[in-house]
């Protein structure tokens, strides 16, 4: 009883003390978490509380390695640890310590009752420290000297109660550390990929936050110095510089002694590197960070090192895509010892990881010999995230190399193109030596015949018109000659959109400016004239719709007004050629103003723009709101003037109009042929199999576009009245031609019907004759004749109705939408005539 009472008294007293100390323990642990929020610190504070509660004279703490429970490390608090060769363990059995036994079994161990084990002179109590999920993080060893009161079962219960609270603290500590490490790692990675080059000063505390298990003297002393953490995206121009930078950052991240980065050659199935073994001096004498990370002194540069995929550790990582963490390289059969024998360097630990982009391995980075022990799981996780940034940097660098290579090829091609598409000095000299041309009379009239001049004479007349409008004071003569000859050379030899068309449009602008002096400012007139001369540069004889449907590279460059943007771009390219800038004597503001106006004028030749401009201008003129002082109104007028000049072939005398129409349709038919070759069906006006559609399409084009354009232009610029008059006269001629074509088609159709009816009559008579009996034959013959006559009469009546309907449509055409151009610009097709023909054909076929 006495003994039981003593035990009861001891237990009660102990439990009372434990309860009294629990509040203090929680307060001390919370304070410790604030000062040093690491798992080891929390467990150390917990061990101290337990030791005090059970009256232990001393205590030890063994931290468990995450990878191997048999690897324990003595922890003495205040961030001090034994080195590998100073670790001491008390052995229980062969190669097994008490702490290792407790860590493996997760059960406490107490030497307190009966005779003490002769192998242990002291009283011991060992308890596993576990998180809530049962993971062992440490082993606590409490000790009392020989002769002291042994540990009782109640001491073990007290320790368990403390550790239960400690498990909760450890769980929250783990969560806090995970979040904090992610934040710190994010800050480090953002520092690396920062777009600006800057100096970053890293304090010891900040380094410890970034790398909680890497606070070696080496790491802290290096990163507390000012070092240029230049973005890995900053110097992306050089692949070698980028590789060095990636390896330097990787070294700092995992505190490695050396680093190598190998890139994958997918074509030859090899890994290769020109720069490898980036190393850092281990001497502590050097205080200059730049010297510590001296690339020239610590980088092995070879012409190139290559080895097949699957060879060595890096080669296997490139094949499998799996991370390899080797604690002892010489114990791993994959390690190639020959490299150490050749270099005299001893490899101990290796961390090798693939670099991926879009699930494709583009490289392998290899870290060698961690300064503070072995590469840990935390090193792997941090390095895996860093590898993503490495992959992006390398991928962008490779893309940059491809772009830079393409740019060089582009420059070579542009240089060749410029040589062949730019006039030579011999041409300029020969052109300048020739006598002044005899300017053809009527060049300033709207009826001027551009077909009467050859190409060089057109160039001379273009220069004459330029000088006549703007003089020679502000323009260099030789530059003007070079510019004009090069413009001529850059028009392709296609049926319609060629140098002749460009000159014709420029001549029309010249006439409008000459007939209405002081209507436009000098810079406006200059932009309109140069823009008209260049408005179809490098035209391919195909419209914008064709470019889109065939997925032309030009369609990929320009989203709207494809060809017009290209024409302007070619104009600027010519102006930038040496000796071609005719605006060199203009001020910078004048140059910008003229260039902006040229772009506006060239884009205005897209007929899609005309319909928008026409609606706005028509409202302004109708409501008498147009103002010559309004900048936007003047832009609309310049656009309308460009459209009218581009369509001027429709306002030329009849013989010139016919010449133009022939070459226009030849170009249309070439596009139609190209569409048919690609498996598409061309519309009727571009189908050379339907030449009878020319007149109908011209009627629709002139009615819906040209006449409204010149009518509106005449209301704003009265001197353009001849354009409207001639266009209306040409329209009348086309209507007459279209009527003749329709009559001819009707006559041909009537003859075809008569022949068809004749054949039907003959067939019926033939069938009746082969029947039998004279009376029967006569009766059937009479019936057949009546049937044929009725059919013929019905078809003739229907023909008269269709004829009247077609006559109505010809004299009052209304459908003007589509894609055909008889005077220039993007083509507008009139589908009204084709629809009428289809209706007529369908009706006749049905009646038959």
Q: How many domains does the chain have?
A: 4
H-type helices in 516-630, by residue range? 522-534, 544-549, 553-557, 562-575, 588-603, 607-622
Plot region of 80 (φ>0 → left; ψ -120 to 50 → alpha; else → beta) = beta
pLDDT in tens, 686-742: 999 999 899 999 999 999 999 999 999 999 999 999 999 999 999 999 999 999 999
- Mean pLDDT calculated for residue range 26-36: 64
Q: For residues 80 and 40, what is the distance between their CA atoms, to the nearest angstrom?
A: 11
> Among the three residues 606, 629, 662, which one is the final residue of a domain in this structure?
606
Please tell me whether residues 569 and 668 are part of one structural domain: no
Q: Which of 26, 253, 57 is nearest to 141 (CA)?
A: 57
Residues 667, 460, 443, CA angle at the centre, nearest 5°? 75
H/E stretch holding 662 = helix 654-677
What is the number of residues in the chain?
Answer: 848
Ramachandran region of residue 379, left (φ > 0), alpha (ψ -120 to 50) or beta?
alpha
- pLDDT: is 30 or 729 the higher one? 729
| Residue 74 near residue 81, CB atoms below 8 Å | yes
Distance from C-alpha of 180 to C-alpha of 243, rounded to nearest angstrom: 29
The answer to whether the CB of 138 falls within 8 A of the CB of 44 is no
Pairing status of strand 123-130 against strand 256-265 = unpaired
The lowest-confidence range among 324-328, 534-538, 776-780 is 776-780
Does 625 reside within a domain?
no
| Beta strand 324-326 pairing with 350-357 | antiparallel
pLDDT band of residue 255 (cuts 50, 70, 90) is: confident
At 333, the pLDDT band (50, 70, 90 cuts) reads confident
DSSP codes, 362-384:
EEEEEEEEETTSS--HHHHHHHH
Q: Tell me which residue range forms the domain holding 88.
A: 2-180
Average pLDDT of the segment spanning 225-250? 59
Would the annotation count 346 as a binding residue? no
Q: In the beta sheet, which residues pair with residue 97?
A: 91
Q: Is 625 annotated as a binding residue?
A: no
Q: What is the rounded distance in angstroms from the CA atom of residue 606 to the CA atom of residue 536?
A: 11
Rg of the chain on CA atoms, in Å: 47
Euclidean distance between CA atoms 132 and 145, whole angstroms: 33
State the Cα–Cα distance between residues 10 and 13, nearest whole angstrom.
Answer: 5
Residue among 461, 497, 566, 600 flagged as catalytic? 497
Residues 176 and 287 in one domain: no
Considering the domain architecture, whether residues 437 and 543 belong to the same structural domain is answered as yes
| Domain shared by 702 and 823, yes or no | yes
Q: In this predicted structure, what is the pLDDT of residue 227?
A: 39
Report the share of the chain in percent with pLDDT over 90: 36
The answer to whether 698 is annotated as binding is: yes
CB of 142 within 8 A of CB of 156?
Answer: no
Structural domain contains residue 409: no
Write down the pLDDT at residue 238. Answer: 65
Could you give the CA distance from residue 42 to residue 26 in angstroms, rounded to a whole number? 11
CATH assignment at residue 450: 1.10.1300.10
In this structure, are 54 and 148 located in the same domain? yes
Statement to judge: residues 29 and 163 lie in one domain:
yes
Contact 312, 303 (CB under 8 A): no
Is 123 among the annotated ligand-binding positions? no
Residue 344 domain-assigned?
yes
End-to-end CA distance of the chain: 132
Contacts of 127 (CB under 8 A, 6+ apart): 50, 102, 108, 139, 140, 142, 156, 159, 160, 163
HSE (side-chain half, CA atoms, 13 Å) at 122: 13
**497 included as an active-site residue:** yes
Assess whether pLDDT exceeds 90 at residue 646: yes
pLDDT-based confidence at residue 37 (cuts at 50, 70, 90): low
Q: Average pLDDT for residues 112-139, to the nearest whole number?
A: 73
Q: pLDDT tens across 471-508, in order?
A: 988 899 999 999 999 999 999 999 999 999 999 999 99
CATH of the domain at 263: 3.30.450.40
Residue finishing a domain among 573, 606, 639: 606
> Do 466 and 507 lie in a common domain?
yes
Annotated binding-site residue? 646: yes
What distance in Å separates the CA atoms of residue 781 and residue 787, rounded to the nearest whole number?
10
Rounded CA separation 254/245 (Å): 15
**Residue 414 located in a structural domain:** no
My answer on whether 160 and 291 are in the same domain is: no
Contact 777, 765 (CB under 8 A): no
565 is in an annotated binding site: no
Mean pLDDT of the chain, nearest integer: 77
Residues 377 and 520 in one domain: no
Contacts of 315 (CB under 8 A, 6+ apart): 271, 307, 308, 309, 364
pLDDT for position 762 = 79
Spatial separation of the C-alpha atoms in residues 806 and 318, rounded to whole Å: 77
pLDDT tier at 28, thresholds 50, 70, 90: low
3-state secondary structure of 587: coil
Residue 378 within any structural domain of the chain: yes
Are 154 and 27 in contact by the 8 Å Cβ rule? The answer is: no
Return the ∠ at Cα 257 (arms to 251 and 263), rounded to 5°: 55
Alpha carbon 645 to chain centroid, angstroms: 40
Owner of token pair 């230049």: 230
pLDDT tens digits, residue range 402-419?
Answer: 888 888 888 888 888 878
User: Residue 63 contacts by C-beta under 8 Å, 6 or more apart in sequence?
Assistant: 40, 43, 72, 73, 75, 137, 138
Q: pLDDT for 148-207, tens place per residue? A: 778 888 888 888 888 887 777 777 777 777 787 677 667 766 665 554 334 334 444 444
Q: Is residue 286 part of a domain?
A: yes
Distance, CA of 490 to CA of 494 (rounded, Å): 12
Q: What are phi and psi of 341, to 5 degrees?
A: -65, -35
The pLDDT-based confidence of 788 (bands split at 50, 70, 90) is low
Residues 162 and 112 in one domain: yes
- Nearest CA to 227 out of 208, 202, 195, 250 is that of 202
Q: Is residue 190 part of a domain?
A: no
User: Is pLDDT of 514 > 50?
Assistant: yes
- Strand pairing partners for 129? 138
- State the number of CA atoms in the 13 A half-sphere of 196 facing the CB: 3
pLDDT of residue 87: 38
Q: Do 175 and 203 reside in the same domain of the chain?
A: no
Q: What residues contact 642, with CB distance under 8 A and at least 6 apart?
A: 509, 528, 531, 532, 535, 601, 602, 604, 605
- Cα 609 to chain centroid distance, Å, stands at 29
Query: Which candidate, 645, 650, 618, 616, places its Cα nearest to that of 516?
Result: 645
Kindly indicate the confidence band of residue 84, based on its pLDDT and cuts at 50, 70 and 90.
Answer: very low
CA-to-CA distance for 70 and 767, rounded, in angstroms?
A: 113
Higher local confidence (pLDDT), 462 or 104: 462
Please say which residue of 130, 153, 180 terminates a domain: 180
Judge whether residue 804 has pLDDT over 60.
Answer: no
Q: Give pLDDT, residue 105.
A: 86
- 18 domain-assigned: yes
- Residue 547 and residue 457 share a domain: yes
Check the annotation: does 371 bind a ligand: no
How many Å apart are CA 634 and CA 640, to the nearest integer? 10
């Amino acid at each position: 009883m006495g003994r039981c009472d003593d035990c009861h008294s001891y237990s009660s007293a102990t439990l009372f003390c434990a309860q009294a100390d629990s509040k203090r323990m929680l307060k001390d642990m919370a304070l410790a978490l604030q000062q040093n929020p690491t798992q080891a610190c929390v467990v150390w504070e917990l061990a101290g509380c337990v030791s005090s509660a059970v009256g232990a004279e001393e205590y030890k703490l063994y931290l468990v390695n995450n990878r191997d429970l048999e690897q324990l490390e003595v922890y003495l608090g205040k961030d001090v640890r034994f080195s590998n060769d100073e670790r001491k363990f008390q052995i229980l059995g062969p190669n097994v310590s008490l702490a290792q036994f407790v860590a493996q079994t997760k059960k406490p161990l107490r030497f307190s009752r009966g005779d003490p084990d002769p192998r242990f002179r002291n009283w011991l109590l060992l308890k596993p420290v576990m998180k809530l999920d049962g993971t062992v993080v440490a082993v606590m060893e409490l000790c009392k000297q020989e002769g002291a009161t042994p540990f009782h079962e109640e001491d073990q219960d007290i320790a368990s109660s403390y550790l239960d609270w400690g498990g909760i603290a450890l769980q929250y500590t783990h969560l806090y550390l995970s979040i904090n490490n992610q934040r710190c790692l994010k800050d480090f990675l953002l520092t690396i990929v920062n777009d600006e080059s800057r100096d970053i000063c890293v304090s010891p505390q900040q380094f410890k936050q970034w790398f909680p298990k890497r606070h070696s003297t080496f790491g802290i002393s290096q990163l507390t110095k000012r070092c240029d953490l230049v973005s890995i995206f900053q110097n992306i121009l050089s692949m070698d510089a980028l590789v060095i930078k990636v390896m330097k950052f990787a070294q700092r991240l995992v505190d490695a002694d050396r680093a190598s980065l190998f890139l994958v050659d997918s074509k030859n199935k090899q890994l290769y590197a020109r720069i490898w073994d980036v190393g850092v001096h281990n001497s502590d004498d050097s205080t200059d960070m730049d010297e510590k990370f001296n690339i020239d002194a610590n980088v092995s540069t070879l012409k190139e090192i290559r080895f097949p995929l699957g060879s060595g550790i890096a080669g296997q990582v490139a094949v499998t895509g799996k991370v390899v963490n080797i604690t002892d390289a010489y114990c791993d059969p994959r390690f190639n010892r020959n490299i150490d024998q050749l270099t005299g360097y001893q490899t101990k630990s290796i961390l090798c990881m693939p670099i991926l982009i879009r699930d494709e391995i583009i490289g392998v980075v290899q870290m060698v010999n961690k300064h503070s022990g072995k590469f840990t799981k935390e090193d792997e996780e941090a390095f895996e995230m860093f590898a993503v940034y490495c992959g992006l940097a390398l991928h962008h660098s490779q893309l940059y190399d491809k772009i830079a290579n393409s740019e060089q090829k582009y420059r070579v091609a542009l240089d060749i193109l410029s040589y062949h598409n730019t006039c030579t000095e011999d041409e300029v000299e020969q052109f300048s030596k020739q006598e002044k041309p005899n300017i053809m009379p009527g060049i300033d009239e709207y009826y001027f015949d551009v077909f009467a001049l050859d190409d060089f004479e057109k160039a001379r007349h273009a220069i004459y018109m330029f000088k006549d409008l703007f003089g020679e004071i502000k323009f260099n003569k030789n530059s003007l000659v070079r510019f004009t000859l090069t413009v001529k050379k850059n028009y392709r030899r296609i049926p319609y959109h060629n140098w002749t068309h460009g000159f014709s449009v420029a001549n029309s602008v010249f006439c409008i400016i000459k007939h209405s002096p002081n209507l436009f400012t000098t810079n406006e007139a200059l932009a309109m004239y140069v823009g008209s001369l260049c408005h179809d540069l490098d035209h391919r004889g195909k419209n914008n719709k064709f470019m889109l449907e065939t997925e032309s590279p030009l369609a990929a460059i320009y989203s709207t007004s494809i060809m017009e943007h290209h024409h302007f771009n070619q104009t600027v390219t010519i102006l930038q050629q040496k000796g071609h800038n005719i605006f060199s004597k203009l001020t910078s503001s004048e140059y910008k103003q003229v260039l902006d106006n040229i772009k506006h004028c060239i884009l205005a030749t897209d007929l899609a723009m005309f319909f928008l401009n026409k609606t706005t201008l028509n409202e302004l003129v109708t409501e008498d709101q147009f103002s010559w002082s309004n900048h936007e109104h003047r832009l609309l007028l310049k656009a309308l003037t460009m459209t009218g000049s581009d369509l001027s072939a429709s306002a030329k005398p009849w013989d010139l109009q016919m010449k133009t129409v022939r070459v226009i349709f030849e170009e249309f038919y070439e596009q139609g042929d190209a569409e048919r070759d690609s498996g598409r069906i061309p519309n009727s006006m571009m189908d050379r199999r339907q030449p009878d559609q020319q007149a109908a399409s011209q009627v629709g084009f002139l009615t819906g576009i040209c006449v409204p354009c010149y009518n509106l232009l005449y209301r704003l610029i009265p001197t353009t009245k001849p354009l409207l008059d001639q266009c209306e006269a040409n329209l009348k001629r086309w209507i007459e031609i279209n009527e003749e074509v329709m009559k001819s088609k009707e006559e041909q159709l009537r003859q075809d019907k008569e022949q068809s009816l004749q054949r039907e009559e003959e067939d019926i008579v033939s069938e009746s004759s082969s029947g039998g009996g004279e009376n029967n034959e006569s009766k059937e013959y009479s019936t057949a004749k009546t049937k044929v006559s009725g059919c013929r009469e019905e078809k003739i009546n229907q023909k008269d109705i269709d004829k009247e309907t077609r006559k109505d449509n010809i004299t009052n055409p209304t459908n003007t939408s589509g894609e055909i151009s008889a005077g220039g610009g993007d083509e507008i097709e009139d589908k009204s005539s084709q629809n009428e023909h289809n209706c007529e054909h369908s009706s006749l076929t049905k009646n038959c």
